[in-house]
Amino acid sequence: MSRLFRHPTTAGRTDTGPPARPVRLAVIGSVLVGLAIAGMVATVTPAAAGVLPVVVDAPTVPVVAAPMTRLQLMVAEGESAGPIARMSVLRCHPAGGTHPTASEVCAALRLVDGEPRMTGTPVALACPMIFDPVTVSVVGTLDGQRVDHRRTYPNPCVLLVDTGALFEF
């Protein structure tokens, strides 16, 4: 038995029995407090300390998921929606799919409340007056709302000015 745990009243006794429990706990507590102040004590979890956590029923807060956005973007050469020349899938919340600039396009759609014609380039471009029609289609769900949008542009330049990176894939 270590001298650290000897009760002061047993110093002269020949009895080497265990010291009183309150004294042992007080000494251990003092050592732990000293070590904690020095920053030498690792964090002890309640389970490791033998303390059971108290479970309190907290009010339930509903988790609201972001509205789903999943769009099929299609480009067809000519004045009809087919045959499809190229296609891409755009997902938002989180941004993904096969669209190469999904996060940029999702951010642009959020800014314009999902109107594809408003996602155009911020720079004014002068497009040539060449008739080379291109038809685009947007089908799917945008922020939880069903979308079925189709429009024919006189040429790819006008499409880019109107829709920006939306159909750049």
The 3-state DSSP class for residue 46 equals coil
Determine the pLDDT at residue 7: 45
Which among 121, 143, 135 is positioned nearest to 71, based on CA atoms?
Answer: 143
Distances (CA, A) of 34 to 29, 49, 129: 8, 18, 83
SS3 of 14-26: CCCCCCCHHHHHH
Tell me the C-alpha distance between 90 and 73, whole Å: 7
pTM for the whole structure: 0.57
The 3-state DSSP class for residue 134 equals strand
Name every residue whose Cβ is closer than 8 Å to that of residue 116 and which is 6 or more positions away in sequence.
Answer: 109, 136, 138, 149, 151, 162, 163, 166
Q: Which domains does the chain possess?
A: 1-6+17-58 (no CATH), 69-167 (3.30.350.10)
Per-10-residue mean pLDDT for the chain, 169 residues long?
44 53 53 51 52 60 71 95 93 93 89 68 79 95 89 94 90
Instruction: Work out the angle at residue 106's Cα, subtended by the Cα atoms of residues 132 and 147, and round it to the nearest 5 degrees.
Output: 65
The residues that bridge with 147 in the sheet, in sequence order, are 140
Determine the pLDDT at residue 132: 96
Tokens of 61: 């807060």
Which among 63, 125, 119 is positioned nearest to 90, based on CA atoms?
Answer: 119
Tell me the C-alpha distance between 147 and 140, whole Å: 5
Residues in the chain: 169
